[in-house]
Amino acid sequence: MEESQRELFQKNRLRLVCELQVEPLWDLMLDRELFTRDMIEDIQRAGTRRDQARQLVTDLQTRGKRALPIFISCLEATGQWDLAALLSESNTTLTQQPDPIDIKPVEMIRSGGLRSTDMKLPIKPLVPGSYTSKKDVPQGAVVSTQTQGGRDTSMVGQVYTLNSDPCGYCLIINNVDFCASSGLSSRKGSNIDCEKMHNRFQALHFAVEVERNLSAKGMGAALQQLAERDHSALDCCVVVILSHGCQASHIQFPGAIHGTDGASISVERIVNIFSGSRCPSLGGKPKLFFIQACGGDQRDHGFQVSSNIPEDKSPGSDPETDATPFQNNFDQPDAVASLPTPSDILVSYSTFPGFVSWRDPKSGSWYIETLDRVLEEWADREDLLHMLLMVSNAVSARGTYKQIPGCFNFLRKRFFFKTK
């Protein structure tokens, strides 16, 4: 859908949510191939008529540029003339314009990019006494004042215990191929990310499982099945998600992840599947989420600073994004926050909310490649938060367009991976 059409839905969103009668629309939208049956069922599960209308307006913005005229025809066929006229009148200026080139916002490609495999920027030290590669540590330098096996033990009582082997389950969801009706492109290079994460977490003593090409409903089911397992004998749980993503309204955790059918599941819902009340056998234990997906469709051009960090400009491949349009639900002033307290949870995002996340078709995503490299180099001596800072620092130095990972941290203690 074109930007002007999405703006049209946003402009009239409140009236649509208040007045739209959704029940008579389902069969028409299915017959006219505006949505698949699974997508319609997902919308119907949103709740009340108002909730369904809100979700319908949101999902319409992820469809192609023919979605608006088809939806208007459905409104007319069901006698909702006022709403049809509202959208038609507002859309008049669009029909008067020359037909633009159909560039899909979900697959924005930059020409003249970088070859990720050729680029090995140093992961710069973040604090005094910290080095990003063991070979960078000067001879005789003191890395930590109190160490045991290379780790700082000055706060032993504030470190999560990982004694079990395996120390926990690691579920990787790798969405590569998307349905044609979703309007989402194939995520070339994601299999490379998947293999890296599989090998890395297996080396870190996790029982790794991979699920591929899941719909939004399938993603929810796989995550629910993981949460319903007995984790009593385990010390941790890890979820890695590789997919297209979008910006979405939230209370605690931003963003949403697309299934291969084009429907989405919010990060907030994913995290809360593993809350203490829903997954008691993981209560008090760290639950880690690593998400490689766009947080929106904005491109960050960065800003100039005085820095000695080299910017990679090597040509070769065309990095792609995992972006789809912003899902805005700001018509919900009466929404009530009633989610469980997210204790012992860390969610690591590949990019800042609202911005794209770059992926090289030949070597995988910037975020996963850097995360894997940092874990390989430093997991035996640094805690997770420190390593994620290293990842953010390194990724932020890459490319003409910019990207910076970040995290929402609700861990209560320091977390060290098991490496021996």
Q: Which residues are catalytic?
A: 244, 294
Count CB-CB contacts under 10 A for residue 31. Answer: 9
Give which of 412, 417, 420 is closest to 170, Cα–Cα.
417
- Please, what's the b/e burial string for 282-308 (b: 16 or more CB within 10 A of its CB; e: otherwise)? beebbbbbbbbbbbbbbbbeeeeeeee
Q: Is 18 exposed, middle or buried (0-12, 13-18, 19+ CB in 10 A)?
A: exposed
Cα 129 from chain centre: 33
DSSP string, 288-345: EEEEES-SSSB-B--------PPPP---S---EE-EEEEE--TT-TT----PPP-TTE
| 8 Å CB contact between 169 and 210 | no
Residue/partner pairs of 194-199 with CB below 8 Å, 24 or more apart? 194/242, 196/364, 196/368, 196/369, 196/372, 197/170, 197/172, 197/240, 197/242, 197/290, 197/368, 197/372, 198/172
Helix (H), strand (E) counts: the chain: 13, 15
| 8 Å CB contact between 397 and 121 | yes
Which helix H or strand E contains 378, and what residues bound it?
helix 366-378
Give which of 267, 271, 270, 241 is closest to 254, Cα–Cα.
267
